[in-house]
Every structure is written in C-alpha cells, then in structure tokens.
Amino acid sequence: MTDIFKDFITELAKVNKKDMDRIMSCINTYKVKRNTIILSQGEICSHYYFLEKGCMRTYYVTKEGLEKTRLISFDNTPVTALTSFITQKPSLEYIDALEDSELLSISQTDFFMLLDEIPSWALFYRKNLELAFAFQNSRIEDLVTLSAKERYEKLLKEQPHYIRRLSNRVVATYLGISQETLSRLKSK
C-alpha cells in the first residue's frame, strides 16, 4: 500500500533508500469507512494524510449551516487541513470520507522532525505546499471570475469523474451553487 506514497514523494523530491526507510518508519496506515469524519471543525489537525484509495472531502460549514466544499481528494493525493496542521490551531474545516478509504498518516511532530533530519523531505514539503497553493489559488480564481455555468462546464471537461463519483449535493457545494442550479445545468 505504501508504494504509491513513495512514488508521490519521489515525484516531488529525490529521496535515497535510507531516508525513504526513515520516512516510512513514521507512517501509519489505516482504513476508514464511508461517512467517517477524520477531522471536525474546532479540532487541531495533528496528522498529514495521504489518500491512497477512496474519496475524501474537505469542507466548511457556514454560520447558516451551509456546507462549502474546498477540496475533493481522490486516490493518490494528500488530504490535510494544512493551516491547522502548520499552525496547530483549531481547524475551521471538516474532513470526511465520501467512500471507504485507505489512508496513510504521519503525525505533525514526526513530519516536522523529518524536516530537520532529511533535506529531501524539506524539498518534498516545499513542493507540496507550492502545489496546494497553486491549486487553491486556481479554485479561488474560478469561484470569483467564472459563472456557475462556466464552473460546471470546466469541471465537466477537466474533472468528469467528479460528476460521476460524487452526489449532486457534494458537487454543488464544490461549485458554490445550489443543487437546483446544478440540476438545471446538468439537464442542458
């Protein structure tokens, strides 16, 4: 199961066998069932997670009780509330499993200890942060500059598996639109 994570690390930074063995000694694996919340609003994110298989969602709940999805994670991607993980302050986000999922995790303590020990882990971290920043900036740009129809069409073109694998409710919260608007867009 951990070979996928090793591949993910080496795509971002060259890591020798000794260092990879040290990194992997800090990794725990586990499975979560669909609808399991691995982080709730108000909790501190004490682990960096890597989703090897499944689907997870990172989202906010507004004061009005509306869900706003920030990120959908599928196989072979990180899924962590980075702001809380870095600052060790309570998260504003929830992370939950939309499907039965297989996760790897490393504690915040071990993660940052490895940064001091292994230069290639520090490079991995920097590149991981750069990817997260670029992705989130693109999401914000889409939400600010594109119409609901344009956001839906872009998602359909670039990420059609979102439409196939996710409920209309989740897709609507990701696109920042109502389920009714999504239904209208899908029917056209």
pLDDT tens digits for range 15-67 = 999 999 999 999 999 999 999 999 999 999 999 999 999 999 999 999 999 99
Does any domain span residue 24? yes
What domain count does the chain have?
Answer: 1
Does any domain span residue 53? yes
Position 81 scores a pLDDT of 95
Does any domain span residue 77? yes
Does any domain span residue 95? yes
Q: What is the pLDDT of residues 62-113, one digit of tens each?
A: 999 999 999 999 999 999 999 999 999 999 999 999 999 999 999 999 999 9
Strands across the sheet with 37-39, in order?
37-39, 94-97, 55-61, 67-74
3-state SS string for the chain:
CCHHHHHHHHHHCCCCHHHHHHHHCCCEEEEECCCCEEECCCCECCEEEEEEECEEEEEEECCCCCEEEEEEEECCEECCCHHHHHHCCECCCEEEECCCEEEEEEEHHHHHHHHHHCHHHHHHHHHHHHHHHHHHHHHHHHHHHCCHHHHHHHHHHHCHHHHHHCCHHHHHHHHCCCHHHHHHHHHC
- In the block, residue with structure tokens 């971002």: 12
Distances (CA, A) of 97 to 35, 37, 79, 122, 124: 5, 6, 10, 28, 25
Specify the CATH number for the domain of residue 92. 2.60.120.10
Q: How far is CA 14 from the centre of its chain?
A: 23
Does any domain span residue 113? yes
CB 51 within 8 A of CB 97: no
- In the block, residue with structure tokens 């980075």: 82
Q: What is the pLDDT of residues 129-184, one digit of tens each?
A: 999 999 999 999 999 999 999 999 999 999 999 999 999 999 999 999 999 999 99
Amino acid at 70: R
Domain limits at 75?
3-117
Does any domain span residue 29? yes
Checking if the pLDDT of 186 tops 90, the result is no
Closest CA to 172 of 164, 163, 36: 163
Position 187 scores a pLDDT of 86
Confidence band for 1, pLDDT divided at 50, 70 and 90: low
Does any domain span residue 166? no
Position 3 scores a pLDDT of 86
Checking if the pLDDT of 2 tops 90, the result is no
Does any domain span residue 149? no
Beta carbons within 10 angstroms of residue 107's beta carbon: 14
CB 12 within 8 A of CB 121: no
- Residues 1-23, mean pLDDT to the nearest whole number: 90
- Residues 114-131, mean pLDDT to the nearest whole number: 95
- Residues 117-131, mean pLDDT to the nearest whole number: 95
